[in-house]
Amino acid sequence: MKDSTVQFFGLPVGSKNAVAVRADGFEGYGHHYSRMSKLDWAESVILITQPVEDRNMELWPTDPPMFKPALEEYSAEVTKLMRQLLSSMALDLGVDAEALTGAFEGKRQSMAIHHYPPCQHPEKVIGNTAHTDGLGLTVLLHVDDTPGLQMLRGGRWFPVRPAAGALVVNVGDILHILTNGAYRSVEHRVVVGADRGRTTAVVFQDASVGGMVAPLPELLVVNGGGEQARYRSIPRFEYLKVRFSALATRKGFLDSLKL
């Protein structure tokens, strides 16, 4: 996966544009540079990876030739890893594994492969603005050893340094709600370096329970669990609309759903 990613971003722009984002969608290759303001600074490939029938193979790069098989294998392995992680979380919460893994089963998975070029004026741009992940679970692969990811804790930003052979796992807002706040999403950002580029491959996994984003019923006192719901239920199709609205007005999204 690492080799094919590096080779793709090393291609001429014309070759990468063979899978450019189309006007009616979000998948494919694209980038956003600006010399005038502090904007996200990255070129990216975004693709739906699961379920298999949702893939748009016309936008999967054929150059380098190993890109497609590498991405297919990596997506399958990350899916297995996520199931293992979720099963362990369920055990920790005292519910059956299926209660949590079932919320993710068959839901959409996508991958965003980002290349952040070095910038001679990093104070004018940012690799990725501060945010929490909006879906269920995120798995990040550092393609190189260039730092850039930072996590917010106690009002301070701390670097997450790449570790050889390791993946970074982020809890998303949906998993935060599913676990009734037991597992919490964390605000993070990406900063750009002046001397070295940075490349990552990030898998985002969606989740819902019966079409709703809500605390797992098995956790709640009304169903024999030990907790009161801390977050209100919201239909999955409304979830992103409400989240984007909160982000646009700089209001705390999860706080807006608290009971």
Domain locations in the chain as residue ranges: 2-211
Radius of gyration of the chain (CA): 19
Label residue 226 by pLDDT band (50, 70, 90): confident
In this prediction, residue 222 carries a pLDDT of 63
CA-to-CA distance for 57 and 222, rounded, in angstroms?
A: 45
- Contact at 8 Å (CB) between 216 and 200? no
CA-to-CA distance for 64 and 75, rounded, in angstroms?
A: 18
CA-to-CA distance for 27 and 252, rounded, in angstroms?
A: 28
Question: Could you read off the pLDDT of 157-173 as tens digits, one per residue?
Answer: 999 999 999 999 999 99
Question: Could you read off the pLDDT of 134-192 as tens digits, one per residue?
Answer: 999 999 999 999 998 999 999 999 999 999 999 999 999 999 999 999 999 999 998 87
212: burial class by Cβ within 10 Å (0-12, 13-18, 19+)? middle
- Contact at 8 Å (CB) between 139 and 131? no
In this prediction, residue 126 carries a pLDDT of 58
User: What are 198's two structure tokens?
Assistant: 């940075």
User: What residue type is 170 in one-letter code?
Assistant: N
CA-to-CA distance for 63 and 45, rounded, in angstroms?
A: 13
Label residue 24 by pLDDT band (50, 70, 90): confident
Global pTM reads 0.92
In this prediction, residue 248 carries a pLDDT of 66
CA-to-CA distance for 173 and 102, rounded, in angstroms?
A: 17
HEC secondary structure over the chain: CHHHHHHHHCCCHHHHHHHECCCCCCCEEEEECCCCCCCECEEEEEEEEECHHHCCHHHCCCCCCCHHHHHHHHHHHHHHHHHHHHHHHHHHHCCCHHHHHHHHCCCCEEEEEEEECCCCCHHHCECEEEECCCCCEEEEEECCCCCCEEEEECCEEEECCCCCCCEEEEECHHHHHHCCCCCCCCCEEECCCCCCCEEEEEEEECCCECCEECCCHHHEHHHCCCECCCECCEEHHHHHHHHHHHHHCCCCHHHHCEC
For the domain made up of 2-211, the CATH class stated in words is: mainly beta
What is the b/e burial string over 109-127, where b = at least 16 CB atoms within 10 angstroms of the residue's CB? bbbbbbbbbebeebeebbb
Label residue 195 by pLDDT band (50, 70, 90): confident
